[in-house]
Amino acid sequence: MPLSTKRVRGEEADGVRKYLAGLIHEWLLSTPEPAKATDIATNLGVAEPVSPRLVRETLQSDRRFTHVERRWDMTARQELATRPFSGAITALLEAYGKPISSQIIAEQIAASRKRLVEFFEDIVNDLLTTRAQYVALDDDLYALREWLLNVEDRDEERILFYNSLTESDQLAAAQEAIGRKRIKGNSPADTAERILDIVGGSLANKALAFLVWQQHATSSPDVLFHRMLRDDRFVLLSGPSWCSPSCQAELNERLARLSAEMDAEAHEGEADADLHAILATPPPKGVDFSVSDSDIEEAVAAIAAHGAGALDRLVTEVFEVYPGDESFPVAIHTLASRLTDRSDILCVGPGAYAAAAAIPEGVGDIPPALRPAFVGKLGDDSLPMDVILTDGGIGPELADRVHDPEKEDVGEEDEVRIKRGYKPPEEVRHTIAYHHLQAGTLKVRQIDRELFPEEPRLVRMILQYAGEEEHVVWIDNEAGLLHGLGDWYARYVPAPGAIIRLAPTSAPIRLELIYDGEADSAAHVDEARVKELLALRDEAQKDEQSMLEILCSIVQAHESGASFETLVAEANVVRRTTKRLVASTLTGYHCFRPRDEKPTQWRFDENALEMGRIKAKKRYMSASQPTQEKE
């Protein structure tokens, strides 16, 4: 029967839920403890995902299941401890609706009474083999006698009456589908196969056995049941009912479709379940929601398993409370208050938490590679070769470069000047410097603040690249750093000077990472030049060179001159430094001069090297000079 592409409704949906209830019962019987709907949904043994919402709805609507401390169990199992042994066995079989082995029955009773299973094995076996209401099958399986068709009277009307089939709608529908079709096969099993093919769905065991008996009056319904259990042409469902493998496959497809539709409908309604709005609003009064210590431990375990967890996801996963439920906002606030008291859990974003042990090493610190270094080597005038000049000393053009908010870097936060009325663009651009490539970091500039949550101290975010890749990064709001891009840099960014862009998405802790090969020509440092600069770095470290000496080597390598941005980029390969120190050095010595025809390009004048410092610049020396820090 072809599957409709329309929404599964009515009787078809009821049939799917009945099938799902059987799958749930089968799994619960195999596990010793009650389970959450989410755990049940992931362990049903079907190929396509089953919605936890559909599982929960099925559990709530079927009296064979009961809620036990936010978990679900078979009602019969919860009552085993108070029932007589025979009643307990019958209750298990009735609830499951399929044969069960004596061993599993003994295990269930033993668990309910907190005793060793060996104590009950002989008792259970004795009851199963001596009581008339049970029927022994192959492989140590036992069924209820009432499931099997009783044909002792040999009279069709009496058989229908005593087997409660007189008013069976399912039997009537099957007889109507069969009509005058030839259904008799070479054996009762062959006939059963033809009947199920014609019916096109599942059929209760008694109804099927009656239709087969009509064609094979001398056959035994008990023997037919035995043989069908071992025949791969038949699938036994809870009830018990029979269907074909193709019918079971169709049920699985309908189950997957109904699950997807239910989740889609729920997601449509979740737009109103805004986590940030819920946290910003006091919890509603009059709705009770308690959280036990074991609930908190489960939430902590879920956070550790996922690396991090948002409150809405945790509430759904741990408490199985969904957006739209009356208790959902209260559950959010309650869990948030309990997690705040934990030392092993940190808030890492609006409504998001992570295990303290899961935060990568180095997050929360400024990597040494990013810290500006200063060498206090003295010149001939007994002053440090490297000094910091005020804006008056470096001039307005370089001062504008130093104060440029788009060029902000570690240690330069106080330099930034943001013009009044500045409106940040929807997406931000970053030129990646060598030291950030090495550290796997990105400077979170003051002009970027609208793109990143400013609270708490550490924020866990997701960068989505090329539509598919997701990279977990960490924002250190105190240091203004984004950590965690090392692997992505290594794969995609060939050299310093690459330009990346960050754009907002609908989720506040998710950004789109964009890189299309664009580079800043002034800040780009190719591979060959990086090697030269690293060799210069080794020499500078060995001789404890000042920034003056480093810049002399860098600038003279550019015979036609180099821009301020290029010199800053290359100087930071040799030694981590600031724009102001580079600007102060370029403007503070006679040997560095702008080109007449290109004043933005700086050249090295070797003949003027001996002239040393420009004495007039001394009056612009900043009152606060950096302390000596060797690399």
pTM of the model: 0.70
pLDDT of residue 1 exceeding 50, the answer is no
At 149 the pLDDT is: 93
Q: What is the pLDDT of residues 91-122, one digit of tens each?
A: 899 989 999 999 998 888 888 888 888 888 89
Sign of the alpha-carbon dihedral angle for 413, 415, 416, 420:
positive
Over residues 186-196, the mean pLDDT reads 93
Kindly report the number of other CB atoms within 10 A of residue 474's CB atom. Answer: 20
Residue 546 has pLDDT above 50, yes or no: yes
Average confidence score pLDDT of the chain = 89
Instruction: Return the number of other C-beta atoms located less than 10 Å from residue 290's C-beta.
Output: 7
Q: DSSP 3-state assignment of 472?
A: strand
Residue 263: what pLDDT? 80
pLDDT confidence tier of residue 269, bands split at 50, 70 and 90 = low
Task: Tell me how far apart the terminal alpha carbons of the chain are, to the nearest angstrom.
Answer: 76
Q: How far is the C-alpha of 559 from the C-alpha of 197, rounded, in Å?
A: 88
Domain(s) of CATH 1.10.10: residues in the chain: 273-358
What percent of the chain lies above the pLDDT cut of 90? 57
Two tokens, residue 618? 């001394």
Site of tokens 């040393």: 612
- The whole-number pLDDT of residue 5 equals 37
Q: Is the pLDDT of residue 267 over 70?
A: no
Averaged pLDDT for residues 414-425: 90
CA 449 distance to own-chain centroid: 25
Which of 24-38, 323-337, 482-496, 592-606 has maximum average pLDDT?
A: 482-496
Res 3: pLDDT: 40
273-358 CATH: 1.10.10
Q: What gap in Å lies between CA 404 and CA 380, rounded to an integer?
A: 34
CA distance 608 to 593: 10
Q: Determine the pLDDT at residue 243.
A: 92
Q: Which residues pair with 503 in a beta bridge?
A: 512
Above 50 in pLDDT, residue 6?
Answer: no
- What angle is formed at CA 556 by the lines to CA 604 and CA 550, rounded to 5 degrees? 95
Model pLDDT, residue 587: 95
**For residue 8, what pLDDT is reported?**
41
Instruction: Map residue 504 onto helix, strand or coil.
Output: strand
Most confidently modeled of 13-17, 273-277, 283-287, 350-354? 350-354
Label residue 240 by pLDDT band (50, 70, 90).
very high
260: its two tokens = 């997807």
Q: Is the pLDDT score of 89 beyond 80?
A: yes
Where in the chain do CATH 2.40.330.10 domains reside?
408-418+426-514
Q: Which residue has the higher pLDDT, 50 or 534?
A: 534
Q: Average pLDDT for residues 180-198, to the nearest whole number?
A: 92
User: For residues 423, 426, 432 and 437, what is the CA-based torsion angle, rounded to 10 degrees?
Assistant: 130
User: At residue 298, does pLDDT exceed 90?
Assistant: no
Residue 7 predicted with pLDDT over 70:
no
- Class of 408-418+426-514 per CATH? mainly beta
* pLDDT bracket for residue 389 (50, 70, 90): very high
Q: Which residues of 160-192 are buried (b: 16+ CB within 10 A; e: fewer)?
A: beebebeebebbeebeeebeeeebebeebbbbb
The pLDDT of residue 629: 60
DSSP letter assigned to residue 315: I
Whether the per-residue pLDDT at 148 is higher than 70: the answer is: yes
Query: Would you state the structure tokens that stand for residue 190, as one six-digit string?
Result: 């062959």
pLDDT in tens, 451-467: 998 889 999 999 999 98
The lowest-confidence range among 301-315, 446-460, 498-512, 580-594 is 301-315
**Per-residue pLDDT for 22 more than 70?**
yes
In degrees, rounded to 5, the angle at the alpha carbon of residue 261 between the alpha carbons of residues 257 and 266 is 150
Confidence class for position 268, pLDDT limits 50, 70, 90: low
- CA 117-120-121 angle, to 5 degrees, is 85
Q: What is the per-residue burial (b if ≥16 Cβ within 10 Å, else e) of 550-589?
A: bbbbbbeebeebbbbbbbbbbbbbbbbbbbbbbbbbbbbb
Q: Which residue has the higher pLDDT, 304 or 589?
A: 589
